[in-house]
Amino acid sequence: MNDRDIERVREREFPLTERVTYLDFATFGPLPTSHVRAASEALAAEAAKGSAGLDGTALLESVREEAAALLHSPARNVCLLTSTSEGMGLVAAGLPWRAGDEVIVPEQEFEGCVAPFLSLGDVTVRVARAVAEIPDLVGERTRAVALSLVDRIGGARAPVEAIAAACREHDTWLALDAAQAMGVLDLDAPALGADVVCAHGYKFLVSGFGLAPTYCSDRALAELRVPRPGWKNAGVGHGSAARFEPTMSSIPVLAGMRESLRLLNSLDAVERERRALDTARGIAQGLAARGFQVREQRSSLVSAPHPDAETLATRLHERGIVAAAVEGNLRLSTHFFTTDSDVQALLDAL
Ligand SMILES: Cc1ncc(COP(=O)(O)O)c(C=O)c1O
């Protein structure tokens, strides 16, 4: 896609970009027009045709295919859960834990990533002061490591290769929260070496609430217990991640997500990531030039501490820039259709 094509995508799919400079995908990704149309049509069909309008199974399978394409994964390794926390919970609730087992999580990790491990009886949750320390902390007792691929506050991309290598060496399970990465970064889920890679649809997947595409490794398919048994997964064996789907998902949400994922897959994955990282880098450089302390991030999130980040975000909002204030930081986030004009509009408004 060239810049003209991107302009057309903005006009056709994201009309809000005509009104505002949207730099807050890390909180919520606006729904593309095609998503809204497909979801609305599915709702109307449910009302008008009843059971004749459903055809949910074929729809769900096509969403699984799109999600698998996005993750460079076989479709049989992908399931559709309801949240990122549920994805992390596959490992927490699915493993037969032993007394003395330990789980490693980073300090300041998102609560949803950690919470599923907190209620496990004899299991110690060990906190790493920095993600870079995790490979050295993984040892004989470490049964699982859980962390975000991209940190939601600072935007740092975790050193997943080193963490996955340490986990492999100790037969440790690895669960990755990809909420701040999936849909924008080029994620090759099988190559990451994790057992679970999960993201809810409402951020960079521009798919709204309700569905969380989740990659499960072959080991996860073979060994994890099913935390939510139901009619739909009762007969599914260990060969498919559909074993973690207990019931039918909302058909309008599926229909909308299929369009959102098609849109993301319509770009080459490397190009999709490059575009978002280029504008993120432009923002980082512009902020640094204006005296902000910007951290190195390698993601599409740019974050800088600010003594009154809330007020600054509100002020930006008044000037048509959608940004976020997160724990004392101004946070900007970009997607493949963020443009240099968006970056300039932000920098002019600061
Ligand atoms: C890192 C991270 N993970 C997960 C989520 C969302 O979690 P859930 O899908 O459980 O709502 C967020 C939302 O802000 C997040 O920042």
Probe ligand 1: pick from 150, 200, 333, max atoms within 8 Å of CB?
200
26-43 pLDDT, tens digit each: 999 999 999 999 999 999
User: What are the C-alpha distances in Å from 203 to residues 179, 265, 304?
Assistant: 7, 16, 20
Amino acid at the residue 16:
L
299 C-beta closer than 6 A to ligand 1: no
- Under a CB-based contact definition with an 8 Å cutoff, are residues 150 and 185 in contact? yes
Assigned CATH topology for domain 3-23+268-349: Aspartate Aminotransferase, domain 1 (3.90.1150)
Among protein residues, the one whose CA lies closest to atom 12 of ligand 1: 179
Spatial CB neighbours of 136, under 8 Å, sequence gap ≥ 6: 166
What is the rounded radius of gyration, in angstroms, for the C-alpha atoms of the chain?
20
Is the CB of residue 180 below 6 angstroms from any atom belonging to ligand 1?
Answer: yes
User: If you measure from the C-alpha of residue 26 to the centroid of ligand 1, how many angstroms do you get, rounded to a whole number?
Assistant: 9
**Ligand 1 atom 15: residue of nearest CA:** 179
Q: Is 207 in the pocket of ligand 1 (CB under 6 A)?
A: no
Nearest to 333 by CA among 120, 71, 152: 152
Contacting residues for 218 by C-beta, under 8 A, at least 6 apart: 77
82 ligand 1 Cβ < 6 A: no
pLDDT recorded at residue 297: 79
Model confidence over 174-208: pLDDT tens digits? 999 999 999 999 999 999 999 999 999 999 999 99
Q: What is the pLDDT of residue 55?
A: 82
Q: Is 56 exposed, middle or buried (0-12, 13-18, 19+ CB in 10 A)?
A: middle
| Residue boundaries of the structural domains of the chain | 3-23+268-349, 49-265
C-alpha of residue 291 to centroid of ligand 1, in Å = 30
- Give the C-alpha distances (Å, rounded to integers) separating 284 from 151, 292, 304: 16, 9, 9
CA angle 243, 31, 34 (to 5 degrees): 90
Give the residue carrying structure tokens 């994964």.
73
- DSSP 8-state class, residue 209: S
Query: Would you state the pLDDT for residue 120?
Result: 87
The CATH classification number of 49-265 equals 3.40.640.10
pLDDT at residue number 1: 86
Question: Is 336 in contact with 278 (CB distance < 8 Å)?
Answer: no
pLDDT value of residue 134: 98
Which residues, 6+ apart, have CB-to-CB distance to 13 below 8 Å? 32, 33, 34, 263, 337
List pLDDT tens digits, range 273-320.
999 999 999 999 999 999 999 987 799 999 999 999 999 999 999 999
> What's residue 122's pLDDT?
84
CB 143 less than 6 A from any atom of ligand 1? no
Q: Is the pTM of this model over 0.75?
A: yes
Contact yes or no for 54/255 (Cβ under 8 A):
no
Q: What is the mean pLDDT of each run of 10 residues along the chain (350 residues)?
A: 95 98 98 98 93 86 98 98 96 94 95 91 92 97 97 96 98 98 98 98 98 98 97 95 97 98 98 98 96 91 97 97 97 98 97
Query: What is the distance in A from the centroid of ligand 1 to the CA of 152?
Result: 9
Q: How far is the CA of 2 from the centre of ligand 1 (A)?
A: 32
Using a 6 Å cutoff on CB, does residue 250 contact ligand 1? no
Tell me if domain 3-23+268-349 and domain 49-265 are identical in fold: no
148: β partners: 177
Question: In one letter, which amino acid is 263?
Answer: L
